[in-house]
Amino acid sequence: MSASGTFGYGLEFSPFYDISRLGAVVVKGLSLLPTAGNAPQRIVETPAGMLNAIGLQNIGVERFVADVAPRLADAGAVFVANIYGRTIEEYEGVARRLSELPALAAIELNASCPNVKEGGIAFGSTSEGLSGLTRRVRSATKKPLWVKLSPNVTDVGKMARVAEESGADAVTLINTLVGLAVDHRTRRPKLSNVTGGLSGPAIKPVALRMVWEACKAVRIPVVGIGGIQSAEDALEFLLVGAAAVQVGTANFRNPNACVEIIEGIREFFAREKIARLDDYRGGILLRG
Note the residues at the interface with other proteins (CB under 8 A). 5-8, 11-16, 28, 36-37, 39-45, 47-50, 52, 54, 57, 200-202, 229, 249, 251-256
Question: Do the Cβ atoms of 208 and 225 come closer than 8 Å?
Answer: no
Separation CA 149–CA 144 (nearest Å)? 16
Torsion angles phi and psi, residue 171, rounded to 5: -120, 145
Separation CA 257–CA 163 (nearest Å)? 30
CB closer to other proteins out of 13 and 79: 13
CB closer to other proteins out of 41 and 131: 41
Cβ neighbourhood burial of 219 (10 Å; 0-12, 13-18, 19+): exposed
Q: Which contiguous run of DSSP H or E holds residue 199? A: strand 195-199
- Which residues carry out catalysis? 113
DSSP β-bridge partners for residue 195: 180
Instruction: Give the alpha-carbon dihedral of 211, 217, 219, 222, to 10 degrees.
Output: -10
Nearest approach in angstroms of CB 200 to other proteins is 5
Question: Do the Cβ atoms of 63 and 94 come closer than 8 Å?
Answer: no
Separation CA 98–CA 62 (nearest Å)? 9
Separation CA 163–CA 148 (nearest Å)? 9
Measured CA distances, 210 to 237, 240, 260 (Å): 10, 10, 25
Separation CA 116–CA 56 (nearest Å)? 8
